[in-house]
C-alpha cells in the first residue's frame, strides 16, 4: 500500500533537490543512495505491505554526520525517517511519502564494554545478534532477544522499546538501557550516555527516546546492561487442550521454577500448521493439540535446573494440566523448539496478507479475543492465529487474507481496539504505533496524555520533520 491508499495529505515539507544532494555528498561522500534500484528495499517494510516513495537514502557512520544532516534538513524543512534493520511491524520504519531515509546500518561499532559491571556501549546500528555473539565470547548476553535478531538493530530496539522473548526474566529496555545518545531535529546532540546503574540527577531524559519510534530524535548510541550468560539452559514444550490449562502452566511454572524461569511462550495449532507448511519445521511430539507452551529455564546449575523442570512437568502431568510434554537439554532440540515459536511471524508472512495485532490483555481473557475474531471473520480470512508472550500478558493476534481487503480490515478495526480498551489492555504491547496504529492511540492513552506527548514533540521537533505521520495521531 502506498500513500494514495490512505486518506492522508503530504505535509508541507520541501522536496529534495540537487543542492541538498550535494550537501549530503559533502558530508557522506558516496554513502548517499539515489539509484532507484538501491533505494527500493529501504522503501518497503518487512511485511511487504507499506511502500514509501523516498528517492534518497543516507548512510552515516558517525553521530557528527547525522548532526550535520539533521541541521541541514531542519533548515530546509526536509522530512526524514530513521531506519534501523527495517523489521518493524507497524509501518514506522519506511517513508509514507518521500521522506529522506537515514539508515543507521553503517553505525555498527562497539564503543566499550565494562566486563566487571556488565555494561556495553555501542553505536545504534549494531545488529542485535552480532552484539549477543560478541558478548557470548565474554560470558555475557543481551538482555533482550527476538525473532528478528539477525536483522534488527539496537537503535531500532530502543526506539520501539522492543519486548521479545525474555522480557519476563530481564525486564523492559526502560530498565536495561542505562544511557543513550540522540541527535535532535535541530542537529543538537544530546549525550545522555551514562554507564552507571543508579543516577537520580534530575529528569531521566533518555526514557523519552525509548519507545518514541524515531519521532523525537535519532538514537546514535546506547549504553545497556548485559546480564551474565546462564551456564545452563533447558527448554520444555508442553501441549494443552484449553487456554485455561495454558494459564495453569504459567502459574505452576512460576511457582515451581522460580528464579530460573526465563521464558513462557505459547502458540495455537494454527501457528503450528503454518510453520510446518512454510518452513518444514516440526515439534518433537507425536500428537497434535490446540495449544503449545514453551517453557525455558536459565540458571547456573544444570542438574538442579533439569531436576526442577522435570518435577514441574510431572506436576503438570499428574494434575492433568498438560496432555503431553518433552524436555530438551541439547542445543539442536532446543533450537528446533524455539524455531517453531520464533519463526511464526515469518511463516504467517508467507501465507498471505497479514493483519497483525499486538495487544496486552489480562491473561484470563487473552485467548477469548482470538475465538471471538475467528467467529467474526469466519471465511473472510484464510486463517486466524493466536500466539505470544504469555508470561508478559502479550497476545499476538493475526489474521491472514488472500489479498488486501477493506471488508476484512473493517471487521477487525476498530473492534479489536475497543475490545482491548474495555478490558484495560494496551493496543500495542510491544511493536509500537508506527503508521498503522497511530490514529488509535486514544484507545490506550487519555487526551491529556496525548496532548502532553504533542507538546514534547513540538519542543524537540518544532517543524515536525522527524518521522512524520507516525506514533502521534494524524490531524486531518
Ligand atoms: P526499524 O524497523 O528499522 O525501525 C523501527 C522504528 O524505530 C521506526 O519507527 C524507526 O523510525 C525507528 N528507529 C529505528 N532506528 C532508530 C534510531 N536509531 N533512532 C530513532 N529511531 C529509530 N518486536 C518486539 O517488540 N518483540 C518481538 O518479539 C519481536 N519479534 C519480531 C520478530 C520478527 C520476525 C520481526 C520481523 C519483527 C519482530 N519485532 C518484535 C518487531 C521489530 O523487530 C522490533 O520492533 C525491532 O525492535 C525493530 O528494530 P529495527 O532495527 O528493525 O527497527
Ligand atoms: C513475535 O513475538 O513473534 C513477534 O512480536 C512478531 C509477531 O508478532 O509476529
Ligand atoms: Zn512478540
Give the nearest ligand 2 atom to 345 CA.
9
Three-state SS annotation for 327-348: EECCHHHHHHHHHHHHCHHHHH
Q: Is the pLDDT of residue 476 over 70?
A: no
What CATH number does residue 319 fall under? 3.30.70.2190
Residue 347 lies inside a defined structural domain of this protein: no
Q: Are 402 and 339 in contact (CB under 8 A)?
A: no
Single residue among 323, 342, 361 that ends a domain in this structure? 342
Single residue among 55, 74, 104 that ends a domain in this structure? 104
Distance 197 CA to ligand 1 centre (A): 25
Nearest CA to ligand 1 atom 4: 93
Single residue among 104, 124, 149 that ends a domain in this structure? 104
325 in the same domain as 370: no
pLDDT band at 1 (very low <50, low <70, confident <90, very high): confident
Q: Among 45, 47, 87, 89, which is best to mutate for testing ligand 2, by the most ligand atoms less than 8 A from CB?
A: 89
Q: Which tens digits make up the pLDDT trace of 98-116?
A: 999 999 999 999 999 999 9
Q: Which residues pair with 324 in a beta bridge?
A: 239
Residue 325 lies inside a defined structural domain of this protein: yes
Cα–Cα distance, 248 to 76 (Å, whole number): 58
Question: Which residue, 474, 459, 473, is CA-closest to 184?
Answer: 459
Three-state secondary structure call for residue 284: coil
Question: Which residue, 405, 350, 459, is CA-closest to 46?
Answer: 350
Distance 52 CA to ligand 3 centre (A): 25
Q: Which tens digits make up the pLDDT trace of 136-191?
A: 999 999 999 999 999 999 999 999 999 999 999 999 999 999 999 999 999 999 99
19 in the same domain as 92: yes
Cα–Cα distance, 135 to 332 (Å, whole number): 21
Domain count for the chain, please give it. Answer: 4
Scan for cell 519510534, then name that residue. Answer: 213
Sign, CA torsion 440/442/448/452: negative
Domain span holding position 58: 3-104
pLDDT band at 258 (very low <50, low <70, confident <90, very high): very high
Residues with a CB atom less than 6 Å from ligand 2:
147, 344-345, 358, 396
What rounded mean pLDDT belongs to the chain?
97
Average the pLDDT over 346-355 and give the result: 97
147 in the same domain as 44: no
126 in the same domain as 42: no
| CB contact set of 146 (below 8 Å; sequence gap of 6+) | 128, 152, 157, 162, 163, 164, 165, 342
240 in the same domain as 205: no
Residue 69 lies inside a defined structural domain of this protein: yes
27 in the same domain as 52: yes
ipTM, two decimals, is 0.99
Binding site membership of 238 for ligand 1 (Cβ less than 6 Å): no
Cell of 53: 516513495
Three-state secondary structure call for residue 238: strand
What pTM was computed for the model? 0.98
CA distances from 191 to 180, 182, 219, 259, 400 (A): 7, 7, 10, 35, 43
Residue 358 lies inside a defined structural domain of this protein: yes
Nearest CA to ligand 2 atom 8: 396
Amino acid at each position: 500500500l502506498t500513500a494514495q491508499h490512505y486518506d492522508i495529505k503530504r505535509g508541507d515539507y520541501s522536496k529534495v533537490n540537487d543542492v541538498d544532494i550535494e550537501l549530503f555528498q559533502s558530508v557522506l561522500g558516496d554513502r548517499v543512495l539515489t539509484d532507484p534500484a538501491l533505494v527500493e528495499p529501504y522503501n518497503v517494510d518487512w511485511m511487504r505491505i507499506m511502500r514509501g516513495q523516498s528517492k534518497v537514502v543516507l548512510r552515516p557512520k558517525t553521530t557528527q554526520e547525522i548532526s550535520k544532516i539533521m541541521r541541514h534538513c531542519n533548515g530546509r524543512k526536509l522530512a526524514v525517517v530513521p531506519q534501523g534493520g527495517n523489521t518493524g511491524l507497524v509501518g514506522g520504519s519506511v517513508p509514507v511519502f518521500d521522506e529522506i531515509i537515514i539508515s543507521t546500518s553503517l553505525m555498527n561499532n562497539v564503543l566499550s564494554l565494562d566486563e566487571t559491571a556488565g555494561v556495553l556501549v555501542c553505536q545504534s546500528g549494531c545488529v542485535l545478534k552480532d552484539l549477543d555473539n560478541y558478548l557470548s565470547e565474554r560470558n555475557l548476553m543481551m538482555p533482550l532477544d527476538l525473532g528478528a535478531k539477525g536483522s534488527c538493530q539496537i537503535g531500532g530496539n530502543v526506539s520501539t522499546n522492543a519486548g521479545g522473548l525474555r522480557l519476563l526474566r530481564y525486564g523492559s529496555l526502560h530498565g536495561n538501557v542505562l544511557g543513550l545518545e540522540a541527535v535532535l531535529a535541530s542537529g543538537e546532540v544530546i549525550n545522555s550516555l551514562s554507564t552507571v546503574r543508579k543516577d537520580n540527577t534530575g529528569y531521566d531524559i533518555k526514557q523519552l527516546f525509548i519507545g518514541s519510534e524515531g519521532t523525537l530524535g535519532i538514537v546514535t548510541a546506547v549504553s545497556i546492561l548485559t546480564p551474565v550468560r546462564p551456564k545452563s539452559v533447558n527448554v520444555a514444550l508442553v501441549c494443552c487442550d484449553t487456554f485455561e490449562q495454558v494459564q495453569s502452566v504459567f502459574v505452576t511454572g512460576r511457582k515451581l521454577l522460580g528464579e530460573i524461569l526465563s521464558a513462557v511462550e505459547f502458540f495455537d495449532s494454527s501457528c503450528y500448521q503454518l510453520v510446518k507448511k512454510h518452513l518444514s519445521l516440526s515439534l518433537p511430539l507425536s500428537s497434535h493439540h490446540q495449544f503449545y507452551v514453551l517453557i525455558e529455564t536459565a540458571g547456573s546449575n544444570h542438574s538442579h535446573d533439569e531436576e526442577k523442570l522435570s518435577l514441574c512437568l510431572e506436576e503438570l502431568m499428574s494434575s492433568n494440566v498438560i496432555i503431553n510434554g518433552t524436555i530438551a537439554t541439547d542445543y539442536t532440540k532446543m533450537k528446533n523448539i524455539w524455531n517453531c515459536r520464533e519463526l511464526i511471524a515469518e511463516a504467517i508472512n508467507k501465507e498471505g496478507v497479514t493483519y497483525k495485532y499486538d495487544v496486552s490483555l489480562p491473561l484470563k481473557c487473552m485467548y477469548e479475543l482470538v475465538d471471538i475474531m475467528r467467529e467474526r471473520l469466519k471465511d473472510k480470512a484464510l486463517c486466524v492465529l493466536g500466539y505470544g508472550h504469555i508470561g508478559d500478558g502479550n497476545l499476538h493476534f493475526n489474521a491472514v487474507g488472500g489479498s488486501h481487503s477493506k471488508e476484512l480490515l473493517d471487521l477487525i478495526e476498530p473492534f479489536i481496539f475497543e475490545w482491548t480498551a474495555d478490558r484495560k489492555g494496551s493496543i500495542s504491547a510491544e511493536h509500537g504505533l508506527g503508521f498503522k496504529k497511530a490514529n488509535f492511540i486514544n484507545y490506550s492513552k487519555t487526551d491529556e496524555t496525548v496532548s502532553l506527548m504533542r507538546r514534547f514533540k513540538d519542543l524537540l521537533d518544532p517543524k515536525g520533520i522527524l518521522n512524520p505521520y507516525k506514533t502521534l495521531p494524524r490531524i486531518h
